[in-house]
Amino acid sequence: MPSLPELMHRTFFRTLSLLSPGAQGTILRRYFEWRHRIPDPWKLATDSYEQHKYHTTLKHLPPRPYRRIIEVGCAEGVFTGALARAYPDAEITGVDVSARALERARARVPENGRVRFVQADILTHRPEPRFDLVFCSETLYYLGRHDRLRLASAQLSGLLVPDGVLVAVHPWPEATRLHGYLDAHGSLHRLGEQVYTAPPRPFAITIYGTKPG
Ligand SMILES: C[S@@+](CC[C@H](N)C(=O)[O-])C[C@H]1O[C@@H](n2cnc3c(N)ncnc32)[C@H](O)[C@@H]1O
């Protein structure tokens, strides 16, 4: 059962998604600039729960020689930095709507030709070339209603090369609903899911591959 603050949070973002995707993107950008008025608003760099989640996520990745990796909704680049360390030969891209968050991400993980940060809305961003590993963690619940989650699933799957891997990490059991839109997307199939139910906040790591053909 979601807490009252969580219910209010989700209702706010669902209401925002009644706007057109462009108008929603503009308000999301303003909201997250405001949210990032203080450094690391979710304590991603210091909270042991977040560190555990990052460590666990990396542990469950299918072992492959990933060359191009993207993290959407990368905030201040805490997990992007972990990816850069775990895959020292890969090109890593972090995407976020907030310029403030990305300024701090660049201070944390300097851009060097291999790592880069891009300000964009994942509902409209279409980078080329594509990626063999795509991450989306703790971000889908900001996108609101069904049609936006369907659009987000299409956008995320559109980032992948054939035979790419997509990893979604969200609170459990809400992940059932959020990741259900990825399950329903015709070009993705589930490779596996791990659910961690320990307090303070259960979460699920769901891994998808692209369907052949
Ligand atoms: C809670 S943080 C998650 C950070 C990171 N993924 C993690 O798990 O450590 C959510 C981030 O998603 C970003 N975000 C929200 N909606 C977005 C969108 N439509 N496009 C790109 N970034 C978005 C926010 O600016 C925020 O920095």
If one counts every other C-beta atom within 10 angstroms of the C-beta of residue 173, the result is: 13
Q: Is the CB of 117 under 6 A from ligand 1?
A: no
Is 90 exceeded by the pLDDT of residue 212?
A: no
User: For residue 105, what pLDDT is reported?
Assistant: 98
* Closest ligand 1 atom to Cα of 50: 9
Instruction: Report all structural domains of the chain as residue ranges with CATH numbers, in order of start.
Output: 4-210 (3.40.50.150)
pLDDT category of residue 151 using cuts at 50, 70 and 90: very high
Specify the ligand 1 atom closest to the Cα of 75.
27
The pLDDT mean for the chain works out to: 95
Q: Is the pLDDT of residue 133 over 90?
A: yes
If you average pLDDT over residues 171-181, what whole number do you get? 97
**Ligand 1 site, residue 122, Cβ cutoff 6 A:** yes
| Alpha carbon of 202 to ligand 1 centroid (Å) | 19
Q: Give the pLDDT score at 213.
A: 67
- Tell me the pLDDT tens digit for each residue of 2-54: 788 888 999 999 999 999 999 999 999 999 999 999 999 999 999 999 999 99
